[in-house]
Amino acid sequence: MLGRVNHIAIAVPDLEAASTTYRDTLGARVSAPQALPEHGVTVVFVELANTKVELLEPLGEGSPIAAFLEKNPAGGMHHICYEVADIAEAAESLKAAGARVLGDGKPKIGAHRKPVLFLHPKDFFGTLVELEEV
């Protein structure tokens, strides 16, 4: 079911400072910020040869990233995103196996303009998992 790792997401309290660190200290290529109001975040992608790192900053009231940063004020790893060929098929297979799909269970459009779903971290050893259809 799982394809390659699409990205690893890191919640940060200051997206501009994090982008500067990745660009100027680590020499990485960093995308422009992209606001995703439907997900409550602003993101940038650090482009690597073999995957991406997504830096997330809270956007708006009730952002899930704001709640994460309350518990982890310096930031930290938020989720890992795996690619799947068919997100609806993956969701049905996971539900049949007892995994919980977060939200209303229906895919939303993510930062790459592709359908995404999130899986409950308690079902995956404390790690929030995102699936993205490719």
DSSP 24: I
CA distance 84 to 132: 6
CA atoms within 13 A on the CB side of 39: 22
Q: Tell me the catalytic residues.
A: 130
**Tokens read off for 44:** 């940038």
CA distance 76 to 64: 14
